[in-house]
């Protein structure tokens, strides 16, 4: 009888351990089993340099979603960013999206100004007003390697005869 009680105890602990591992996998992997608490939105940018899947999406400095996919729109020659936004967050059709950098050399993220004077965007809607800031690396490279062109001062040009 003692043999069966030890096996039963070990079996119970194994089942509890597997349930704990499964729970932690779902929680840490951010997998939703009973429905999704987010909705997808899209935005098209001329450049998505530095942005990657998993980057945060912020409104008023608060993370309200993540970037889930990066693709190319061959018809419009633009990068397409797919984002998942928390269901409680309202984004309107006059919203504006910008790719920002967290610090000088920090990770890139999408900053959304949600608007408010238009209609709320439906799931799979698109933010049409987008902008990309100047790439600081390109600016530094141009300045460091003398790629910027200086205009000649007036009156300093030599006339060739």
102, HSE (Cβ side, Cα atoms, 13 Å): 12
Q: What angle do CA 112, 91, 72 make, to 5 degrees?
A: 60
For the chain, give every domain's residue range. 38-136
28, HSE (Cβ side, Cα atoms, 13 Å): 6
Q: State the alpha helices, DSSP H only, in 57-135.
A: none
pLDDT at 30: 63
Which tokens in the block code for residue 20?
Answer: 């704990």
Q: How far is CA 63 from CA 44, 59, 85, 130, in A?
A: 20, 7, 9, 18
Condensed to tens digits (0 to 9), the pLDDT of residues 50-96 reads: 889 989 999 998 999 999 999 998 998 999 999 999 888 888 888 89
Q: How far is CA 140 from CA 51, 102, 111, 143, 149, in A?
A: 20, 18, 24, 5, 14
pTM beyond 0.85: the answer is no
Say whether 63 sits in a helix, a strand or coil: strand
Strands 108-113 and 56-59: parallel
**Neighbouring-strand partners of residue 43:** 81, 127
CA distance 28 to 55: 16
pLDDT in tens, the chain (161 residues): 566 788 888 999 999 999 999 888 877 766 655 656 888 999 999 988 888 998 999 999 899 999 999 999 899 899 999 999 988 888 888 889 999 888 767 788 999 998 888 788 888 888 888 888 776 677 777 777 776 555 555 554 444 44
Say whether 160 sits in a helix, a strand or coil: coil
| 12 Ramachandran zone, left/alpha/beta (phi>0; psi -120 to 50) | alpha
Phi and psi at residue 15, to the nearest 5°: -65, -45
């Amino acid at each position: 009888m003692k043999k069966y009680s030890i096996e039963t105890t070990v079996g119970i602990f194994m089942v509890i351990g597997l349930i704990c591992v499964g729970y932690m996998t779902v929680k840490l992997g951010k997998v939703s089993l009973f429905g999704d608490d987010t909705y997808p939105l899209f935005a098209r940018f001329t450049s998505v340099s530095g942005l990657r899947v998993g980057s945060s999406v912020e409104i008023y400095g608060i993370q309200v979603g993540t970037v889930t996919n990066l693709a190319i729109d061959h018809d419009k020659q633009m990068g397409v960013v797919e984002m998942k936004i928390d269901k409680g967050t309202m984004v309107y059709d006059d919203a504006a999206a910008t790719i920002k950098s967290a610090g000088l050399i920090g990770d890139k993220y999408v900053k959304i100004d949600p608007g408010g004077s238009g209609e709320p965007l439906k799931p799979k809607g698109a933010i049409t007003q987008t902008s990309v800031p100047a790439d600081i690396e390109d600016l530094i490279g141009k300045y460091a390697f003398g790629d910027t062109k200086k205009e000649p001062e007036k009156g300093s040009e030599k006339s060739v005869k």
